[in-house]
Every structure is written in C-alpha cells, then in structure tokens.
C-alpha cells in the first residue's frame, strides 16, 4: 500500500548495545515510510549512541531523573515532531506523562512470549535464564504497545522459536535475538502503513 502521507518520524530509545536499533536504522535507511529522527538513551556510554552517530542520526542523553519526570523528554520529542517512540532495549519505565502524550505511539519488543516471563526485572539474560529454568520447549518475541504496566500493553505481534533440550540461556538468547532483528523493523513498517 502506498501512502500519500508524509514519512513518520521515529525516535528510538535504547540503554545498551542497540543491535535492534541498528537493524531498524538500516531497514528504514532508504524507506519512504519512515525515518529515524532521534536516538535517545539514559546512558552516555551506551553503544547505541555510537551506532547512531555513524548513521548521522541525532542523539540525546537524559538522566534517569529527567526520564522519570518526563517534561524535557516530551518537549524535545514534540519539538522534533516525533510520531512514534520505538523502545529497543530501553531499561527504564516509561513515565505516565510520556504515555499520555504518545497514546498507542510507543512500541516495545520483549524477548519472550508474553504474558510469560514479563514484568519488572524481566529483561535481557534474566528472561532467557527463566525460560531455561522452566524447561520451556519454545520461546520467542513479543512486540507490543506500551502502557502503564511493564510488558502488559496490547500485543501487536508474536513469533516463537523451538528450543532444544541442550539449549543454554545463551543459545536461547541468540535464537531470540535473531527473531528480533528480522521482525522488529518489518512489524514497525507494517504498523506505519496500516495507520497512515
Ligand atoms: C533485546 O533482547 C530486547 O528484546 C530487549 O533488550 C535487548 C536489547 O538488545 N528489550 P540490543 O541492545 O538491541 O542489542
């Protein structure tokens, strides 16, 4: 479907390595649907900022308390006319003020099949360790809207992967990350197409 509307302007929020951010940046590089207007982090040393600089994307670091309070973050996003916020390994809770200013415009990816293995403290390797500890025969990804409760917003997309008996938490993480890298940019793209 070809849209007549202008490109969507995306902000990516990330706290760490930003391998998902990288895939999203590459995917939308030549897109008519969206561009990455900003990469935001709460950690000045996060590798994701380097990735953004290499791609000539503006970056902004806010402190944890600035995120919690929200006003400056919201002001910047509004000034830059950001349409969607894409969370890609962003570890802080999104404040209610930000959610209210961007209703159904904040999207997250979780490295498990929600509602299993979600909630506070369930991030990164903690998720894969829990999946391993429970002898799960599958894991996967969940892409969802962000609401006031951790990992409880409406689910947009899920994809599972089969786990083998000998899969360690590291192997589970690798399998799940491959799904994230493939699907996250494409699901965002579809979402933008449908809402334009
Ligand atoms: C991913 O597993 C993502 O699902 C989770 O945090 C991890 C971020 O990895 N929310 P990266 O920084 O994109 O490499």
The predicted structure's pLDDT at residue 3: 47
The predicted structure's pLDDT at residue 5: 62
Q: How far apart are CA 119 and CA 142, in angstroms?
A: 13
Q: Report CA(173)–ligand 1 centroid distance (Å).
A: 10
- Is this prediction's pTM over 0.85? yes
Answer yes or no: 183 catalytic.
Answer: no
From first to last of its 196 residues, what are the pLDDT tens digits of the chain? Answer: 454 568 999 999 999 999 999 999 999 998 999 999 999 999 999 999 999 999 999 999 999 999 999 999 999 999 999 999 999 999 999 999 999 999 999 999 999 999 999 988 899 899 999 999 999 999 999 999 999 887 789 999 999 999 999 999 999 999 999 999 999 999 999 999 998 7
Has domain 8-195 been given CATH number 3.40.50.170?
A: yes
SS3 content of the chain, % helix, strand, coil (to 5): 40, 20, 40
Q: How far apart are CA 111 and CA 124, in angstroms?
A: 7
- Beta-carbon count within 10 A of 159 CB: 15
- Ligand 1: does its nearest atom lie under 6 Å from the Cβ of 17? yes
- Number of residues written out for the chain: 196
Q: Report CA(23)–ligand 1 centroid distance (Å).
A: 11
Domain-by-domain residue ranges, the chain?
Answer: 8-195
Q: How far apart are CA 79 and CA 160, in angstroms?
A: 38
Q: How far apart are CA 147 and CA 144, in angstroms?
A: 9
DSSP 3-state of 66: helix
Q: Do 52 and 21 meet the contact criterion of CB atoms below 8 Å apart? A: yes
- Ligand 1: does its nearest atom lie under 6 Å from the Cβ of 92? no
């Amino acid at each position: 479907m070809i849209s007549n509307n202008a490109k969507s302007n995306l902000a990516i929020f990330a706290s760490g390595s930003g391998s998902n951010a990288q895939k999203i940046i590459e995917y939308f590089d030549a897109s008519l649907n969206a561009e990455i207007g900003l990469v935001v982090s709460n950690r000045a040393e996060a590798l994701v900022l380097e990735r953004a600089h290499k791609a000539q994307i503006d970056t902004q670091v806010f402190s944890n308390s600035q995120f919690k309070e929200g006003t400056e973050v919201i002001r910047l996003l509004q000034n830059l006319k950001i349409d969607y916020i894409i969370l890609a390994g962003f570890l802080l809770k999104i404040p209610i003020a930000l959610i209210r200013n961007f209703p159904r415009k904040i999207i997250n990816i979780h490295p498990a099949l929600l509602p299993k293995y979600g909630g506070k403290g369930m991030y990164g390797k903690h998720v894969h360790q829990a999946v391993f500890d429970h002898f799960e025969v599958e894991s996967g990804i969940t892409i969802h809207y962000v609401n006031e409760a951790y990992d409880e917003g409406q689910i947009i997309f899920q994809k599972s992967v089969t786990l083998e008996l000998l899969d360690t938490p590291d192997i589970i993480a690798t399998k799940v990350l491959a799904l994230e890298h493939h699907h996250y940019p494409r699901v965002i793209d579809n979402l933008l197409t449908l809402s334009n």
